[in-house]
Amino acid sequence: MEAVSNSFDVVVVGAGPAGGHCARKLSQLGHRVLLIERYKNFNVNSFSSSGTPNETLTKYQIPESVVGSFWNEISIVTSNQTGKWRSPQIQGSVLDFAKLRSFLADETIAHGSEVWLNCLYISHKTVACEKGDRSGDRTIVQVRRDRTDVVIEARLLVDATGPNRSLMYANPKDQPELITGTGVEFLIEVDEAAYDRSANALTFFLGYKWMPKGYSWIFPMENRRLKVGAGIVNLPHEFVKEMQPLKHYIQLIIDQHIKPTDYSIVERHGGTVRYSLGLKDKYVDGSVIAVGDAVSTINFLGGEGIRHAMESSEISVKYIDRYLKGTGQNFDGYQQEMHQVFLKSWTRSEKLGLKKYLADSDRLVDRVVNYLRPLTLEDVVDILFYYKFEKASKGLVSYLWRKLRSVLGKVLRQSDRIFRL
């Protein structure tokens, strides 16, 4: 191995929302951090639709300069139903994913740390410290920067490589069983009238017509641009046996829902998520601590992952900071704290997601819109983004009550007719 060229407190591998936020926070705390990313710039893999509620900007201090547009409406379109929920208040935003990650990297540099783009993590090994050396074990990391092999040294490593989990599992065969989901998205530019019909709203498409085994979407960006995407869970459906390629469902939305008089495709991108049911990922391994999608922080039901990836970084930073300052010896509490935050609602989301995407009949999917119809947008946001599924039962009760009233109405009208005869 070559000589060590550089030494850091922490090397964070992967400059997604988890790695970028983790590096930013650690640098703010005065630690010497290196953030590495395999791609040469953030436009290359701008795969995420990046729809998110208000909390992302406020809780994680994200500026409006990375926002593509704001939304105050949700629409759900199924094979035979459409529901719309609107509020005078802004409920969230659609971020520019490239700008978000670029902002986090810039902040890391502004706080005195380094960011290396076009830098691929290759391997690491930990070297035990010599007797009497109080600085602790060192980890030697091999990376390939601009096609040149470089060896660096760090006290800790962060695996923020998302679905790859590259540091935690040198051999992918050692990974826990992972469910995969695939998403493809077109960024299109449309005429003004077509844009206005989808502006300010997150529109979701469910059901066999639009997207069996998952859901599709339209998220608005600025300058008459719309993100139109489709995502599936890569498991068999109980009833739907044949699927079209994902781009078929995107085209369907463009042709039958957006109906632009004119449009152009600005960009095509996509990605695969890998998720461990029951959160069975490895969180800590020696000097490596994992954050974000590397420990399945993406929510299985909604596919929302940016906010949760950043939350995992906030949690990990507490442990890393204590360790580096010598006030904490290990990361024993990290997995437990992560499970406290995520496990319960993630397990419920898994059950609902598996049923909704892979086992429900098309009629049952239609009914969801009817259940939700009497709710406010704030209620729907609570269900979709804060996993307060009990709020859906409020809608279900109201739906059953409306059904009962209509049946009773019919019976009363009929008996009235009979008595009059």
Residues that bind ligand FAD (CB under 6 A): 13-19, 36-39, 45, 47-52, 120-121, 160-162, 164, 166, 183, 185, 229, 231, 270-271, 273, 292-293, 298, 303-307, 309
As given in the structure block, the two tokens for residue 419 are 């008595």
Distance between CA atoms of residues 25 and 104, nearest Å = 9
Distance between CA atoms of residues 124 and 11, nearest Å = 11
Q: Which residue is nearest to ligand FAD (CB)?
A: 305
β 4-13/148-159 pair status? parallel
As given in the structure block, the two tokens for residue 123 are 């391997």
Q: Is the dihedral of CA 59, 65, 66, 68 positive or negative?
A: positive
Q: Which is nearer to ligand FAD, 291 or 368 (CB)?
A: 291
CB crowding 257-277: b at 16 or more within 10 Å, else e: bbebeebeeeeebbbebbbbb
Distance between CA atoms of residues 184 and 235, nearest Å = 17
CB of 42 to ligand FAD, least distance (A): 8
Q: Which is nearer to ligand FAD, 258 or 371 (CB)?
A: 258
Closest Cα partner for 348 from 295, 388, 397, 303?
Answer: 388
Distance between CA atoms of residues 6 and 223, nearest Å = 44
Read off φ and ψ for residue 212, nearest 5 degrees.
Answer: -65, 150
Strand partners, 179: 275
As given in the structure block, the two tokens for residue 244 are 């079209």
How many degrees, rounded to 5, is the angle at CA 305 between CA 337 and CA 125?
Answer: 65
CB of 71 to ligand FAD, least distance (A): 11
For 232-270, the DSSP string reads EESS--SS------HHHHHHHHIIIII--SSEEEEEEEE
CB of 70 to ligand FAD, least distance (A): 14
Q: Which is nearer to ligand FAD, 293 or 321 (CB)?
A: 293
CB of 402 to ligand FAD, least distance (A): 32
CB of 394 to ligand FAD, least distance (A): 26
As given in the structure block, the two tokens for residue 6 are 């550089």
**Residue count of the chain:** 421
As given in the structure block, the two tokens for residue 105 are 């990297």
CB of 171 to ligand FAD, least distance (A): 14
Q: Which is nearer to ligand FAD, 212 or 292 (CB)?
A: 292
CB of 89 to ligand FAD, least distance (A): 20
Q: Which is nearer to ligand FAD, 46 or 78 (CB)?
A: 46
CB of 233 to ligand FAD, least distance (A): 12
Q: Which is nearer to ligand FAD, 257 or 269 (CB)?
A: 269
Q: Which is nearer to ligand FAD, 145 or 367 (CB)?
A: 145
Q: Which is nearer to ligand FAD, 94 or 371 (CB)?
A: 94
CB of 278 to ligand FAD, least distance (A): 18
Q: Which is nearer to ligand FAD, 125 or 259 (CB)?
A: 125
